[in-house]
Amino acid sequence: MAKALSRTANMHVGGESDGRIVPAKYPNKGEQAPAEGMEGRRPTKENIGQATAPRTRSRISESSALHGVREAAHRDKQTRFTALLHHVTPELLRVSYYALRRKAAPGVDGVTWQEYGTELDEKLTDLHRRIHLGTYRAQPSKRAYIPKADGRQRPLGIAALEDKVVQQAVVTVLNQIYEEDFLGFSYGFRPGRSPHQALDALWVGIMRKQVNWILDADVRGFFDHLSHEWMVKFLEHRVADRRILRLIRKWLRAGVSEDGEWAKTEVGTPQGAVVSPLLANIYLHYVFDLWVRQWRQHHATGDVIVVRFADDGAPRWRRKESFMDT
C-alpha cells in the first residue's frame, strides 16, 4: 500500500447523497449499475456521492497493491499519498501500452503503436529505469486540428508514444484515489461511466420531478485555459508524492510542436493527451462539483439534480451541467 499521511483540507468534503430520485429503469443484466442509480436511489448510506467501482477492473488494480491504494483512499478522504510512483512497474507499463489505441496518429517522435511494440520488453525496462531515476523527459505534443461544426478548427495535442504509455500508467494509479473522491453526478471520462447513464439521470429528473427550470452551461476552451498553478494545488490535496507531481508538471509544460516550431505552454492541457481527461475531472471536481454540492446542501430551497458530462467522442470537450429545481 502507498505510504499516506492525513491532514485537514478545507476544500475536501466527504461523500453524501447527490440525489433523491428513484430511477425509472435499470441496466441490462451484466452491465454496471448506473452511478448512484441515475442520481437517485441510495445503494449504501456511506458511499453516495462517490463513484462506485467498475464491476470489471484490470488485472493490475485487482491483483496488486493498487487495490490497497483504493481502500486507503476510501477510508480517509483527507489522506495524502506520499509514495505512488513505485506502483508504476514494468508490468503496469506493459498493460498501459496494450491499453492504447493501436491506430492512433504518431506524435513528434513519429513512432506508431506497432513500431514501439518491437522489442517491447527492452523498451519498457529502459523506460521504467528512466522514470524512477528521474531522467525521463516528456516530449512536446504534436499540434493537429479537427474541424468543428461551426467551421472553426479545434486544436489537438498528440503525445509521443512513450509519453502515452507513462501517462496511462499514472492515470491507472491516480484513478484508485479519485474514483473514491469524484461525485456521483460526474459522468465523463470515468471508468464504468457512460453517456447513456448521464442521459438516464437527466431523463429521470425531468420526468419524475416538477421541473421549473433547466440551466445548460458550457465552459468555453476549458482544456486550453486550465491553470497549471491551480491544477497542481488541487492535486496536492491528495497527492504528496513529488515524483508524480513532477511528471504531471513535465507533461503540462512540455509545449507543443507545430510545423517544426516549438511553443511554450503556460496554461492548458492538450486535448488528446491520455492524462488530460483525468486532470480535467480533478480540476472541475474542486472548482465546480464541490461548490455545487455545498450550494445545494446549504442554499437551495428545492430539489436540485446535477448532471455533468465531459464529452470526448469527436474528440471534443463539452462540460454540461443541468440543474432542475423544484
Residue with the bigger pLDDT between 53 and 144: it is 144
CA distance to 55, 72, 280, 319, 321, per residue, from 311 (Å): 22, 30, 12, 7, 12
Of 105-109, 188-192, 230-234, 301-305, which gets the smallest average pLDDT?
A: 301-305
Backbone angles phi, psi at 267, to 5 degrees: -140, 165
Q: Decide if pLDDT at 303 tops 90.
A: no
pLDDT for 5 equals: 65
Count how many residues are written for the chain: 326
Average pLDDT over residues 89-110: 96
3-class DSSP assignment, residue 280: helix
Contacts of 264 (CB under 8 A, 6+ apart): 253, 255
Cell of 169: 500508467
With beta carbons less than 8 A apart as the criterion, state whether 270 and 276 touch.
Answer: yes
3-class DSSP assignment, residue 102: coil
Distance, CA of 164 to CA of 138 (rounded, Å): 10
pLDDT band, very low/low/confident/very high, at 299 (cuts 50, 70, 90) = confident
pLDDT for 63 equals: 53
Residue of 186, 200, 209, 194 lying closest to 26 (CA atoms): 200
pLDDT band, very low/low/confident/very high, at 217 (cuts 50, 70, 90) = confident
Average pLDDT over residues 101-119: 96
How many alpha carbons fall within 13 Å on the CB side of residue 115?
12
Calculate the average pLDDT of the chain: 79
Average pLDDT over residues 299-324: 55
Contacts of 282 (CB under 8 A, 6+ apart): 178, 231, 234, 235
pLDDT band, very low/low/confident/very high, at 64 (cuts 50, 70, 90) = low
DSSP-derived secondary structure for 147-214: E-TTS-EEEEEEPPHHHHHHHHHHHHHHHHHHTTTS-TTB-TT-TT--HHHHHHHHHHHHHHS----E
Q: Decide if pLDDT at 161 tops 80.
A: yes
Average pLDDT over residues 159-187: 96
pLDDT > 70 in the chain, percent: 75
How many alpha carbons fall within 13 Å on the CB side of residue 1?
13
At 211, which amino acid appears?
Answer: V
Q: What is the pTM of this model?
A: 0.78
- Virtual CA dihedral for 43, 46, 50, 54, nearest 10 degrees? -50
Residue of 27, 45, 223 lying closest to 141 (CA atoms): 223
**What is the Cα Rg of the chain in Å?**
20
pLDDT for 228 equals: 97
pLDDT band, very low/low/confident/very high, at 6 (cuts 50, 70, 90) = low
Q: How far is CA 174 from the centre of its chain?
A: 9
Average pLDDT over residues 105-115: 96
Contacts of 242 (CB under 8 A, 6+ apart): none
Average pLDDT over residues 98-125: 96
Cell of 64: 496488486
pLDDT band, very low/low/confident/very high, at 60 (cuts 50, 70, 90) = low
pLDDT for 195 equals: 86
pLDDT band, very low/low/confident/very high, at 122 (cuts 50, 70, 90) = very high
CA distance to 60, 248, 283, per residue, from 83 (Å): 17, 15, 22
pLDDT for 260 equals: 83
pLDDT for 250 equals: 97
Cell of 161: 508514444
